[in-house]
A and B are shown apart, each in its own frame.
Chain A
Amino acid sequence: MKTLRRMGNWLYDRAGLAPLHRFLHEHKVPPEVGRSRKGWYYVFGQALVFVFLAQVITGAALALHYIPAPDHAWDSLNYLNTEVFWGGFVRGLHFFGASAMVLLVFVHMSRVFLTGSYKFPRELNWISGVVLLLLTLAMAFTGQLLRWDEDGISTVAVAATMAGRVPVIGSHLMELIMAGESIGGATLSRFFALHVIVLPLLIFAVIGFHLFLVVRNGISEPPEAGKRVDRTSYRAWYERRKNEGGSTYWPDATWREMVFVAFVFSTILGLALAFGAKGPGPPPDPAAVEAIPDPDWFFLWYYSLIWYKPAALDQLVLVWLPILLIPALLLLPILFSGGERHPGRRPWAVFLVGASFLMWATLTVLGARPYWVPDFETEPVAEEVLRDAPAEARTGAGVFHFRGCQFCHVVLGEGGTYGPDLTTAALRLSPEEMAVRIIVGIGNMPAYHGQLTAAEVEAILAYLRWAADLHDPANEEGR
């Protein structure tokens, strides 16, 4: 024991740990952060640092076995899942860690925004934070491609096509993303280099700067309603308040952060144990036209947004929104560096955060079960259901399935949900009205003139008439 203590003392002296020790013990935070429940608002940043370090470690572990070559990457992932000791588990940790990072980045940012902590003198804290947000999203995006399955490569094709919509430099952006004019041998190497070397180095550097600023400018005190940021006196006032009534960062504020880190880590661990690795899905063949791209959950909201926004706003949502959002976020603390910090006095800020989270959650849920995707696997209506149908209605049921009407329409319980359920359509519409809709199309429905013969249209109408009769209340009473 004594020897251990002596060794400790030796290290303390020779490594010059005194300043670090002093820093931890004497670094002051505003009294509320250390001693009131409000301290819990300040735990997210630390959790991000820890999750990032965990990502670096699990990522480095995966790199021991991952082969960043297009003809072997997919095999090496399956090898990791099945053969490597803890391989699948570590892949799970890395995936859920990435998910936690994306989620926490937005939570952390919302907290900073709501408490007005980005205002004077902490403008650069926010700006470096925005850079970290973009780097985190870039990691999520490049990581999805490294899974090198069907979803991974279609995500890149989609991202490249969206980038291609940018005026003037669009086609060049596409070539930079795909490392050429199509997804090929060089695409994976490029994403590997970015995901494993370039972006992590940048994140380390910017986190370092961000943390330096947190210490230099001090943790923002919880805002008080009615108190405006005064640029001339704030710094002196803050120092006084911190040093006179404040508590020390260690351990008064640290313990909450560590408890939250423990919560985040156990969640990640639990999810990785319960669900294991994500994918890889079917092998990455750009010629696989049967692929149905399924973006990772953190990009699902955008996939839904592209569907739900009006068609006329395509260029706005796909191109200008992302391009303008970044400078807007960067400029926020410059434009609004003074004024009230308390969320109670900034209703628009609260509304913006609330509306964003509500929209994000709604779009994510809707995107998880997209009704607008045609049901390519739809089965014909069962024989028993058609038992009593007249011959022409039976033919119509066959046409309805074979001709793909059923991809988008449900009749008698079978079919896709893109268009309306047509089981009782014949109760609302005359045969002529239905025929016009089939032949000329309506809204998002294609016009089938030239696609269907007159006899086929007749058969479909007979089928819909018969199906509607089954559900006609008048018939129910008669029976």
Chain B
Amino acid sequence: MTRFRKDAKDSTDERAQGQDREGAGTDGCASAASNRRGFLTWLSVGIGAVLGAAMTVPWIAMFLSPLRRRDPPVWRSVGRVEDFPVGATIQVTYRDPSPLPWAGFASRNAAWLRREDEARFTAFTSYCTHVGCPVRWEPGAQLFMCPCHGGAFYPNGAVAAGPPPRPLDEHPVRVRDGAVEVQAIGVPVPREEG
């Protein structure tokens, strides 16, 4: 709006000057000048916009880069079969699927491994299904308990109390050559209830 008004004013000025100099006004000249100005305006704005967008693209691409990474499932050994007594639930620690060399502590993850019988193991994630706080196994109470909002889970992962909407998430577990291996998974994605 303002721009057009300004253009209009400018072109009248030019016309006035032209009349002064040459003593004859020509509408054709004025509209050609205004066309030229319009074109140059769009040219400058266009170049600025394209370059501006081009400069932001690398940032956006890098910011979004975690979305493209899909690590193949990685199995991590967490101990020998005989380390886990039948019926016991024990904390195991495993490394991220592809830990960065400088990750330090941050590449560590915890899971709760439960030996159901001679051959079967279950591994639960340590993240509460409510809002993701760390759950701890209380051997006396035989419950997983969450310190944030009082959620509790039974030994089989089912919700025992509090606000969690669904059972604890499980890691796939397998036994290879006498070693127990859990599949390394990240913070579980909340699934729709029901």
CA distance A288 to B91 in the complex (A): 10
How many residues of B are counted as interface, with CB atoms below 8 angstroms from the partner's CB atoms?
Answer: 57
Chain B contacts for A445, CB-based, 8 A: 161
Is B119 close to A, CB under 8 A?
Answer: no
Is B66 close to A, CB under 8 A?
Answer: yes
How many residues of A are counted as interface, with CB atoms below 8 angstroms from the partner's CB atoms?
Answer: 66
Q: How far is the CB of B167 from chain A (nearest CB, A)?
A: 13
Chain A contacts for B24, CB-based, 8 A: none
Of the candidates B108, B145, B163, the one whose C-beta lies within 8 Å of that of A285 is B108
Asked whether, in the complex, the Cβ of A293 is within 8 Å of the Cβ of B189, the reply is: no
Is B107 close to A, CB under 8 A?
Answer: yes
Chain A contacts for B103, CB-based, 8 A: 70-71, 184-185
Asked whether, in the complex, the Cβ of B107 is within 8 Å of the Cβ of A185, the reply is: yes
Chain A contacts for B105, CB-based, 8 A: 70-71, 74, 283-286
Chain A contacts for B131, CB-based, 8 A: 158, 161-162, 306, 318
**Closest chain B residue to A193, Cβ basis:** B63
Asked whether, in the complex, the Cβ of A374 is within 8 Å of the Cβ of B147, the reply is: yes
Given A287-B109, A418-B150: A70 and B102 within 8 A (CB)? yes
Asked whether, in the complex, the Cβ of B136 is within 8 Å of the Cβ of A186, the reply is: no
CA distance A161 to B136 in the complex (A): 18
Is A345 close to B, CB under 8 A?
Answer: no
Of the candidates A170, A286, A374, the one whose C-beta lies within 8 Å of that of B150 is A374
Within 8 A of A (CB), among B124-183: 126-127, 130-138, 140-143, 145, 147-150, 152, 154, 160-163, 165
CA distance A71 to B107 in the complex (A): 10
CA distance A165 to B64 in the complex (A): 19
Of the candidates A167, A186, A286, A373, the one whose C-beta lies within 8 Å of that of B66 is A186
Q: How far is the CB of B144 from chain A (nearest CB, A)?
A: 10
Is B69 close to A, CB under 8 A?
Answer: yes
CA distance A32 to B140 in the complex (A): 68
Chain B contacts for A408, CB-based, 8 A: 150
Given A71-B105, A185-B107: A446 and B190 within 8 A (CB)? no
Q: How far is the CB of A365 from chain B (nearest CB, A)?
A: 17
Chain A contacts for B102, CB-based, 8 A: 69-71, 185
For the residues of B in contact with A, the DSSP-based class is loop
Is B110 close to A, CB under 8 A?
Answer: yes
Given A402-B140, A404-B140, A451-B143: A187 and B132 within 8 A (CB)? no
Chain A contacts for B136, CB-based, 8 A: 289-290, 376
Q: How far is the CB of A203 from chain B (nearest CB, A)?
A: 17
Q: How far is the CB of B75 from chain A (nearest CB, A)?
A: 16
Chain B contacts for A306, CB-based, 8 A: 130-131, 149, 163
Instruction: Name B's A-contacting residues (CB within 8 A).
Output: 63-64, 66-67, 69, 71, 91, 93, 96-97, 99-110, 112, 126-127, 130-138, 140-143, 145, 147-150, 152, 154, 160-163, 165, 185-190, 192
Apart from the given pairs A164-B188, A181-B186, A184-B100, 11 other A-B contacts in the complex at a CB distance below 8 Å = A154-B133, A161-B131, A165-B190, A178-B66, A178-B187, A181-B187, A182-B109, A185-B100, A186-B100, A293-B134, A441-B161
Lowest 3 A-B CB distances belong to which pairs? A71-B104, A404-B141, A161-B132
Instruction: Name A's B-contacting residues (CB within 8 A).
Output: 69-72, 74, 153-154, 157-158, 160-162, 164-165, 167, 170-172, 174-176, 178-188, 283-293, 303, 306-307, 311, 314, 318, 372-374, 376, 402-405, 407-408, 418, 441, 444-447, 451
Interchain residue pairs with CB less than 8 A apart (10): A71-B104, A158-B133, A160-B187, A183-B187, A288-B110, A289-B126, A372-B149, A373-B150, A404-B141, A446-B160
